[in-house]
Amino acid sequence: MAYHLKGAMEAKVANAVPYGAANRPALNGVHYPLKPCDRNILKILSLVDEMIALADQGDADREDVGCGVLYGVLRDTAYKLKKMAEEEKRSHQEKGWWLQEG
């Protein structure tokens, strides 16, 4: 299962193009792919979604308090990482390194 999710995430990131690229004219007829640093941010955002889903499922399935603490830490960490990654993405957009949507 984890391998399948990993492969799906890698395919999603590998095929990523800058946000809004479909709505913008190409530069010299070419849509440029995301820079490696931006692809890494997308990977983090994808991993965070998986972390949150796992924390929710784990919380629903847990049978003791210790697991509840574990899944709570996982969820909190995921939201912290998500906030940091979104801020970094926004920073890259403001610098013009990552095309903004729209």
Residue 83 within any structural domain of the chain: yes
Per the domain annotation, does 100 fall within a domain? no
| Confidence (pLDDT) at 98 | 80
| pLDDT recorded at residue 101 | 55
Has residue 28 been placed in a domain? no
Domain count, the chain: 1
- 77 in any annotated domain: yes
In a domain, 47, yes or no: yes
Tokens found for residue 91: 């920073």
In a 10 Å sphere around its CB, with 0-12 CB exposed, 13-18 middle and 19+ buried, how is residue 48 labelled? buried
pLDDT at 11: 59
pLDDT in tens, 43-72: 999 999 999 999 999 999 999 999 999 999
Q: Which two tokens stand for residue 6?
A: 């990993």
Residue range of the domain that includes 9: 2-13+35-94
Does residue 67 lie within any of the structural domains?
Answer: yes
Give domain status of residue 58, yes or no: yes
- Check residue 96 and give its pLDDT: 85
**Is residue 27 included in any domain, yes or no?**
no
pLDDT lower than 50: segments of the chain: 1-3, 18-25, 102
